[in-house]
């Protein structure tokens, strides 16, 4: 099996470990973490901080994956992703065996699709995205790089999501709505209108309550 190192030893990492073990394609050699008090996460050893990544690559480990969760950490996820690419690591796409993913989708590297998620035909998902547990991405949707579709969120057909955007837990986006880049959609929101870049939108129906700094 191909050897892979995981970066970030939080709760999201546990789910990534589960996905990798469900595919039987990679051997996880360990997890890196800047601050750690345990020797293992689940049954995988924590082998040091990110300073060892270049040494691991030189030793022949060619695959890595970002295991920092998305909520509030999209900038950090992107920073780690770019560092791994600079070192030279290959960053696979990971799809849990219990996800339902059409063969007619385009999924880029670094994206993970978790158990129970449904991704239907004509969808494009960019790099370093999270399609979380039981999320639904309907036909012809487009999701920009480094975005997170949280558990049980639903994107109706032909929805467009910009890069660096978080679609909150249990939220619903109606068909053909465009959501900009660097947007946060609050948990449980129902989005019926387009949402501009760099904003936070919440409620039923969702409305913008704050303008955010550019990412």
Give the catalytic positions in this structure: 139
Paired with 207 in beta bridges are: 202
Decide: 158 and 190 in contact? Cβ < 8 Å. no
DSSP 213: P
Give all strands (DSSP E) within 61-107, no chain letters.
63-66, 94-95, 100-101, 106-107
What 3-state class would DSSP assign to 47? strand
Kindly provide the b/e burial profile for residues 160-190, where b requires at least 16 CB atoms within 10 angstroms of the residue's own CB.
bbbbbbbbbbbbbbeeebbbbbbbbbbebbe
Cα 79 from Cα 3, distance rounded (Å) = 22
Decide: 190 and 205 in contact? Cβ < 8 Å. yes
Which tokens is 171 given?
A: 């939220």
Report the run of H or E that residue 48 belongs to, with start and end: strand 44-48
């Amino acid at each position: 099996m191909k050897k892979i190192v995981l970066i970030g030893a939080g709760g999201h990492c546990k789910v990534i470990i589960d996905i990798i073990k469900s595919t039987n394609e990679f051997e996880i050699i360990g997890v890196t973490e800047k601050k750690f008090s345990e020797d293992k996460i689940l049954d995988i050893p924590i082998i040091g901080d990110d300073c060892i990544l270049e040494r691991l690559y030189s030793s022949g480990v060619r695959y890595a994956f970002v295991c920092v969760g998305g909520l509030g950490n999209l900038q950090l996820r992107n920073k780690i992703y770019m560092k791994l690419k600079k070192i030279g690591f290959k960053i696979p796409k990971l799809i849990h065996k219990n996800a339902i993913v059409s063969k007619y989708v385009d999924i880029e590297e670094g994206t993970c699709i978790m158990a129970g998620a449904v991704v239907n035909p004509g969808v494009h998902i960019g790099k370093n995205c999270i399609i979380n547990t039981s999320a639904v991405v309907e036909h012809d949707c487009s999701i920009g790089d480094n975005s997170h579709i949280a558990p049980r969120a639903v994107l109706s057909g032909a929805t467009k999501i910009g890069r660096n955007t978080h679609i909150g837990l249990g939220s619903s986006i109606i068909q053909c709505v465009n959501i900009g880049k660097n947007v946060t959609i609050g948990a449980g929101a129902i989005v019926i209108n387009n949402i501009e870049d760099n904003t936070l939108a919440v409620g039923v129906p969702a409305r913008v309550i704050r303008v955010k700094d550019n990412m």
